[in-house]
Amino acid sequence: MWLVCSNRCGAGIFRSLQAEVDVDAAGAYESHRFLQPGFICVGCGAPALDLGQVPAEMAADAEEDVAPALLDVLCPVCETAVPVLEVEMECPNCGAYLEPVS
Ligand SMILES: [Zn+2]
Ligand SMILES: [Zn+2]
């Protein structure tokens, strides 16, 4: 779970709204459970948003985007990142000679 204030006020403190206590017929305490995340920002009272699931999904996407074997070489002239195979080539941006990766 990663809570943020929907007003982005930056207080960083949140209060749970939904803590439900179950009791049995005799009124004895049975369990304490949290329902769906329901939190408010203590700083400004706005509803808090749970971003806890988002970074994990973004990280999964990023891993899929990583190219498996190619190495990027920075052009010494213009610092363009060039994926280099094991052959010599020219920078596609400025035409500088790039040494092959061995
Ligand atoms: Zn707030
Ligand atoms: Zn270049």
Looking at the structure of the chain, the number of domains it has is 2
Q: Are residues 2 and 52 in the same domain?
A: yes
pLDDT above 50 (res 34): no
Within this chain, do residues 86 and 36 fall inside the same structural domain, yes or no? no
Domain match, 62 and 75 both: no
Structural domain boundaries, residue 18: 1-66
How far away, in angstroms, is 41 Cα from ligand 1 center? Answer: 5
Q: What average pLDDT does the chain have?
A: 75
Closest CA to 40 of 11, 75, 71: 11
Nearest ligand (C-alpha, residue 82): 2
Do 62 and 73 sit in the same domain of this protein? no
Same domain, 15 and 34: yes
For residue 35, the model assigns a pLDDT of 44
Query: Is the domain of 46 the same as that of 81?
Result: no
Give, in order, the Cα–Cα distances in Å from 10 to each of 3, 34, 44, 45, 102.
11, 25, 9, 12, 49
The ligand that comes nearest to the alpha carbon of residue 14 is 1
C-alpha 64 – ligand 2 centre gap (Å): 28
pLDDT-derived band at 86 (thresholds 50, 70, 90) equals low
User: What pLDDT band is residue 40 in, cutting at 50, 70 and 90?
Assistant: confident
